[in-house]
Amino acid sequence: MSKHTYRGAERRPAAGIVLAAVLTAAIAVSLSSACATGRADGSGGEAIAPLAPAVRPAEYGPRPLCVGHRGAAGLAPQNTMASFRAGIAAGVDAIELDIHLSSDGRLVVIHDPVVDKLTDGKGRVSAMSLAELRALDASARFPGWTGEPQRLPTLEEALDLLAEPGNEKVGLQLEIKLDEDGSRHPGIEAAALAAVRDRGLIDRTIVISFDFPTLATARELEPGVKTCALVGKAWFKAAGGSRPDQAAAIAASGADYAGVDHRYLSRELFDALRAAGLGVGAWTVDDPAVMMALSSLGVDFVTTNRPDLFAAALP
């Protein structure tokens, strides 16, 4: 296994193996299409397609870690307790979630700085109290949802789930978000790390962010926590495209990992990131063919909305 892995989080048994036979033919077809077009998720042709699957290098372990995006956002309403439980049930190695601060200083799990797209309400998260946020239905926008209405969780509730007996091997990727105007939530790093520390989960946590100063603050507050610099379309556009020489700028963040939009992860960039001493992850991948291609490249983790498909493609 690579040295870049969750401390205290061994691999969990994969779930969904029964899907493997069903996926085999689909993987063969979609692999050719994904690698030919560079649009594994249909979201743009300017990106770089992953290489076709080959043999995964032995030094990187048997397969990447499976990170459930916002829990399991393809199976249940994202960033809700239902989604986190669905991800764990599907066998994720870690769950990824996003946090903002409410107007009364509570750590709320939600991706966007506004509630409009993900709930039945409207407004800016940082302008609403926890009570106001908890009154919203976080499952209102999930197509076909027939389960119980979901509320926006606090970070503490999500951490308590990870601390439950039986979940000791599940890691956490904790994304600290910026407010709607691009400013940092005052004190959010300290509050989040205190909650993680209080539950003994520092060794199972990686703080992730597109904002590199946020990562620096997290390391200053908790030198033992791992961090991951996220880079995607906006970063590569500003940098002039995906090139190996950009590995130095990502490494300069001081992070332990680079989390790269998979559409921009070429073999050359991957090798340069490795040479810079970084672990490498790829997001967000729901195509089993691309999961396999990234595994053969040697990435440390793959973030997906569909951990059930990951378990079938890479048992």
CA distance 299 to 59: 11
CA 16/CA 101 separation, integer angstroms: 36
| Token pair listed for 289 | 């063919």
Catalytic one among 69, 100, 185, 262? 69
pLDDT tens, 79-94?
999 999 999 999 999 9
Indicate if the pLDDT at residue 286 is higher than 80: yes
What is the average pLDDT score of the chain? 88
Q: Does 109 have pLDDT greater than 90? A: yes
Catalytic residue among 100, 111, 185, 262: 111
What confidence category does residue 217 fall into, taking pLDDT thresholds of 50, 70 and 90?
very high
CA distance 203 to 164: 16
Q: What number does CATH give the domain 17-313?
A: 3.20.20.190
Query: Which DSSP state fits 264?
Result: G
Predicted pLDDT of residue 307: 98
- On whether the CB atoms of residues 150 and 160 are closer than 8 A, the answer is no
d(CA 292, CA 281): 13
Cβ atoms of 300 and 64 closer than 8 Å: yes
Token code pair at residue 296: 């053969």
CA distances from 32 to 6, 26, 52, 53, 284 (A): 32, 10, 8, 11, 19
Contact 170, 206 (CB under 8 A): no
Q: Which pLDDT tens digit goes with each residue over 12-30? A: 344 333 334 434 434 343 4
pLDDT at 52: 73
Q: Which pLDDT score is estimated for 179?
A: 98
Tokens representing residue 77 in the block: 């309403």
Strands, E assignment, the chain: 65-68, 94-101, 107-109, 171-176, 205-209, 226-231, 257-261, 279-283, 301-304
Read off the pLDDT of residues 220-279 as tens digits, 9 standing for 90 and up: 999 999 999 999 999 999 999 899 999 999 999 999 999 999 999 999 999 999 999 999
Q: Please tell me the distance from the alpha carbon of residue 186 to that of residue 24, in angstroms, as a whole number.
A: 49
**Residue 100 known to be catalytic:** no
pLDDT for 50 equals: 62
pLDDT digits 0-9 by tens, 30-74: 443 444 334 333 334 457 766 777 789 999 999 999 999 999 999
Distances (CA, A) of 260 to 14, 59, 154, 204: 24, 20, 27, 21
> Range with the lowest mean pLDDT among 2-6, 204-208, 298-302, 304-308?
2-6
**How far is residue 213's CA from residue 219's CA, in Å, rounded to a whole number?**
10
Mean pLDDT value of segment 101-109? 98
Structure tokens at 30: 């979609």
Which of 70, 78, 67 has its CA nearest to residue 150? 78
Q: Give per-residue pLDDT as tens, 129-161.
A: 999 999 999 999 999 999 999 999 999 999 999
Distance from C-alpha of 141 to C-alpha of 146, rounded to nearest angstrom: 12
pLDDT for position 49? 61
Q: How far, in Å, CA of 242 to CA of 296, rounded? A: 20
- Provide mean pLDDT across the span 198-218: 98
Residue in the structure block whose two tokens are 């290489």 = 51
Catalytic residue at 4? no
Q: Is the pTM of this model over 0.85?
A: yes
